[in-house]
Chains A and B, each alone.
Chain A
Amino acid sequence: MLEIQELTKRYQRKAAIDQVSFSLRKGEIFGLLGPNGAGKTTLIRIINKIIEPDSGTIRFNGDLLQQKHLAHIGYLPEERGLYKQMTVEAHAHFLGALRGMSKSEINTSLDYWLKKFNCADWRKRRIQELSKGMAQKVQFIFAVLHEPDLLILDEPFSGFDPVNVELIKAEMQEMKAKGKTILISTHNMRSVEEICDRVVLIHQSKKVLEGRVSEIQDQQKTGEYAVKFRGNMIAFVNALWIGFELIDKEILGDDRFIAHVKMRGDNSFEDLLKTLMGQVKIEAAWEVLPSMNEVFIATVTTDSDEK
């Protein structure tokens, strides 16, 4: 769908993007992650042809990215901006026309989205009459009005209340199901875990990590397991003996605990469960995977330390 190859952009001597390559597949939600100043916005602007790269190529459905492809790309920038004097309808017509839509297409699409987001009565209202959250919603509608094949969302959840965050997430999943590709840049790692299929992590202008969310978490796991049980903590520790190591514990009350355990020697998860059975009442047990937030912090910190 979108192939980015060795993209580089420099401002004077400083590289904003340095030899970054990755690709987006059709029908996936792709997370573009990175700390502030990593070069995410520069990358997004290059994909939108707002700025030109110094070197490297971008291919859209196999063709070198050209101006004509922008009609198939939707963009919601981090800094939201609308003409405050215009009505929602007039604004939609203006932006829709820029994306090459006819008047009837714009009207049909606008009707659909306004109804879907329960805001059909906003049509004739001026942007300045809308609250910040309402304006955010309207801007999302404008980004998807032309039913783009690729939707680029820069911090799409900022400014939304939890209800609307869920609404936008659901909408993204629906679009994905329709075969649309979504590139999302966000600092909200929980959302990344929830909705992204794959991610790329940019740090100090370079790509430092790329892959499926579950694979990345798997790569970064530390062999830690959690056991939720009811019973005596001393009995639990005694049962572990020398085959396992207690890392951490959490007291839940009512003689219930969550214990974090690591294996010693060749012991497996099954061995742990066998050892504990009969000593305590196991309610749940699972392998502890690092959150994307932990992956993010660990990768960024390690990368900075190495440099």
Chain B
Amino acid sequence: MRELRERLGSRSFILMAILGPMVVLTFTFLIFQFGGKDQQKWHVLIVDPANIMEHKIMSAEDPNIQYSFATNYIEIEQFANDKRFADFDAMVEVNEKILSNKSSFLFYREKPSFTMSVNIRYQVERRLEEVLAKQFTKLSVAEFRKIKQPLNFAFRNVYDPKDVKSDMAGWVGLFFGAVIFVFIFLFGMTILRSVSREKTNRVVEILLATVKPRSLMLGKILGIGISAFLQVFLWCLIIGLGLYFMRETIFVDIYDASNQAAGQVSDYNQFVELVFDRVQFGVMLFYFSLFFACGYLFYGAFFAALGAVSGSESDGQQFLIPLILILCFALYAGYFALENPDSPWTTFLMYFPFTAPVVAMVKLAMGFADGDAYQLFVSLFLLLVSSVGVIAIAARLFKNGLLQFGHTLRFKNIILWLKVK
């Protein structure tokens, strides 16, 4: 409780809780408000043999994207190699099956920028939703969107059409994973510093005369962890409210008739559309919380043990480097999973407790193949079991190292303290 109170009462916690999400929101706004000014300019061919889209795509013209329509069938190889299509940067395949399987592909020559892919996805999906709403219901587009099922609109390299690695949702997962690791690192360092400080000022001897070392370590990890959780919660809350505010005031729905009537039209509401419609925040945040909690316990125990066995604060810094490298590797593992979602290595990294939180978030965001969802639970279970194991080992190091002062930490010390019961 002392740890928690100290963290919550500190100026840095309050600053971080408010300024952090505000900075994220500001960057988000700036990127999508102004980032579009120097976008790529694309010429997109929409292959629509059934004339589903009726040769139109959006009510206001996008200066960066020019759409052309073809009503005949065009094969991927033909588009890729035929000089007649050389002027087109991408081809969107809209066949008659889209009305039933809600699935469509975009084949590109060069990988689109993030903004470009968001724009095209948004514009094509919106138009298709209009078509679907008109075709199957008597609902307005806005009403239809409330009950709609997601459309699978995937981006593929025209020269490698089966490749599915550039799935934008994966980046969202990587973002969540990165957030987990940033918070683990920040609050792990807080644990390390707190333990080191208590060793340095010797208050630890008084504490150990009242509580067991294991309780002290767990109390420290949990106290700081709860403050970390509160911090994350505040981030989610503020960013969520901020995005909602942006959606309602700045990035309003341009296809909603009522909004059009009110004149609240913007060219850059794609991001909010992505954030609010494509990312399953409920599921993501639920698993984010679980992986964050388990990952924090797993790494937190390492930081606590490191603080306890260090002879001085500077001593701990040098042993921190391997831990930071592992954290960096975990982030890279997340990127690897993004690029190679179906690799057996990705599955391994999802089960490997050091990398599990970030890889699992990437995989979760990208979606599991049918029958593979169990992997998420296996990953979580293994991480939880590993956390318990690491806490048990760390508790022994914590107990045996906490009352050792002034030494220079060596691996043989660690081995020795691990052996002593």
Contacts and interface: CB of A to CB of B under 8 A. Distances in A.
Nearest to B198: A81
Contacts of A82: 201, 203
B203 A81 contact: yes
Given A51-B403, A84-B201, A94-B2, A77 B210 contact: no
A79 B206 CA distance: 10
Contacts of A95: 206, 210
A287 to B, nearest CB: 43
Interface string A59-72: 00000000100100
A73 interface: yes
A50 B203 contact: no
A127 B77 CA distance: 77
Contact of A81 (B2, B204, B212): B204
A84 B201 CA distance: 9
A117 interface: no
A77 B201 CA distance: 12
Nearest to A95: B206
Which of B202, B205, B212 has the most CB atoms of chain A within a 10 A radius of its CB? B205
Nearest to B400: A51
Given A51-B403, A94-B2, A67 B212 contact: yes
Size bracket, chain B contacts: 10 to 19
A98 B210 contact: yes
Contact of B205 (A67, A77, A85): A77
Given A45-B403, A50-B403, A51-B403, A83 B201 contact: yes
A75 B209 contact: yes
Contacts of B208: 48, 50
A77 B207 CA distance: 11
Interface string A79-97: 1111111000000001100
Q: Taking chain A's interface residues, is the majority helix, strand, or loop, or is none over half, making it mixed?
A: loop
Contact of B201 (A73, A75, A81): A81
Size bracket, chain A contacts: 20 to 34
Contact of B202 (A49, A77, A99): A77
A156 to B, nearest CB: 14
A48 B209 contact: yes
A80 B202 contact: yes
A83 B208 CA distance: 15
B211 interface: yes
A80 B206 CA distance: 9
A98 B6 CA distance: 16
Interface in B148-206: 198, 201-206
Nearest to B10: A85
30 contacts: A45-B403, A48-B208, A48-B209, A49-B209, A50-B205, A50-B208, A50-B209, A50-B403, A67-B212, A70-B209, A70-B210, A73-B209, A75-B205, A75-B206, A77-B202, A77-B206, A77-B209, A79-B205, A81-B198, A81-B201, A81-B203, A81-B204, A81-B206, A82-B201, A85-B6, A98-B207, A98-B210, A98-B211, A99-B210, A142-B206
Interface of B: 2, 6, 198, 201-212, 403, 416
